[in-house]
Amino acid sequence: MNLVIKIYLALTITLVSSCLLLYFLPYLGKRGKRLSDLLCYAPALDLLLGYFMLVPLIVGWLCAGWSGIVTALFAQLSTLWIWIIFHELINYQTRKEPKISRTLSRIVGSWRNHLAVWITLLALPCFWTVRLAQIMVYPLLTWLVGFPKYQAHDWVNVSRQKFDGLIGYDLIWCLYCDWMTGVWSLGTEMLRNVESFWCPIRFYEDKKCENCKLDFPDVDGAWVANDGNMKDVVELLNCKHSQVTEHSWFGHKSRLSTTQPVNKPKNCDR
């Protein structure tokens, strides 16, 4: 048998079997339920998703180079469709109930909707890069300059499988969104600390300030104005960081209990 076919069959069978194990895990008593719940939160979720998304690619590469990676991708896509079909078959009684994919296909067109959904998979490397940076890079900053620590499981988790009516195709994409939204939100929270610590200066483009203030609230009145000077920046840094041990962004919850210096510079009013 051709090596590529062997790799494809081995990976597909392994991944499908793993999916079935995950599906039936909550039915294996209290321990199974606890393990199933644990796998919904980082860091266990990172290991689980790495097993399904990254390990097959590594195995494919080690076995057959680039052709092995392509084969692994086909095995992953096959597994995805097998799981979708399986889940929709065992929930056959819901076939006529409202569906997200069906509704959006009616609104924007079936092929446009489904093609667009699958195109979002191209963003996976981006989200994995962000997640790896959270695991490997950000902890160095907490150690070196005292950035606040975060409990990743409060951000990186999945729970939409508990929502009644999400079946098969709808469920898998909602879980994908569930994961990537948490990863992106945690990354944004970490980046707030970076910006307000090293570069608390408003942008010269007002439109950029307006667009960024949702994700970086300190840009709206807390950072030094773009027509200020370096003395203002130094005063702001002294005010916001000289009397604290945790150097968080200015709107962080840890700031609520921080006592600001009595003789505070003018920029402390920001």
Q: What is the pLDDT along the chain (270 residues), one digit of tens a residue?
A: 799 999 999 999 999 999 999 999 999 999 999 999 999 999 999 999 999 999 999 999 999 999 999 999 999 999 999 999 999 999 999 888 999 999 999 999 999 999 999 999 999 999 999 999 999 999 999 999 999 999 999 999 999 999 999 999 999 999 999 999 999 999 999 999 999 999 999 999 999 999 999 999 999 989 999 999 999 999 999 999 988 889 999 989 888 764 444 334 455 655
With tokens 């879980």, the residue in question is 175
pTM above 0.85, yes or no: yes
**Hey, what are 123's tokens?**
């963003």
Predicted local confidence at residue 265, as pLDDT: 44
Predicted local confidence at residue 268, as pLDDT: 63
Predicted local confidence at residue 262, as pLDDT: 36
